[in-house]
Amino acid sequence: MAIDIQQIGKRFRFYTSIKELEMPQLLEMTGSDESVLSNILSGKNYLLDELVAIVKNFPDLNTQWLIYGEGSMFKPMDENGTCKDNHKGCLKKDKAAYLKQMQNMLIELDAAEVAKGHHADVDALKAKLDEYKASHPQG
């Protein structure tokens, strides 16, 4: 399976939006150069080593999803809401505006995947979003 750096950029941008991470926070968290982060987020040329160095700072991010669009965006959580690799807070909770933004970004990501001829499991992401909304009523 070919790696598409533009799709990786879109997925990473989607992830950082959901986590509400802006460039200053990303720079602080990763210790990376702004131009490298910018290139990854925009899907421009970058080295895989640069991506790996940045992604290791996000323990809840499923790298299989990031790189190939397969599976869930987040690593599985146990019954206590802890990521299986013992990191708390895989996903911020209880934010209605944030759920709406997630829906809009899923639509955009789905369109990009279809345009590229990819068959990512966007329906599974939508189902997870619906499940999350059902278990966290707004208001």
Burial of 119 (0-12, 13-18, 19+ CB in 10 A): exposed
Q: Which domains does the chain carry?
A: 5-135 (1.10.260.40)
In this prediction, residue 119 carries a pLDDT of 53
Q: Is the pTM higher than 0.85?
A: no
Under the banding of pLDDT at 50, 70 and 90, the label for residue 128 is confident
- Model confidence at 79: pLDDT above 70: no
Hey, what are 70's tokens? 């397969």
Ramachandran bin of 88, using left for φ above 0, alpha for ψ from -120 to 50, beta for the remaining angles: beta
Contact 9, 42 (CB under 8 A): yes
What is the DSSP code (8-state) at residue 46?
-
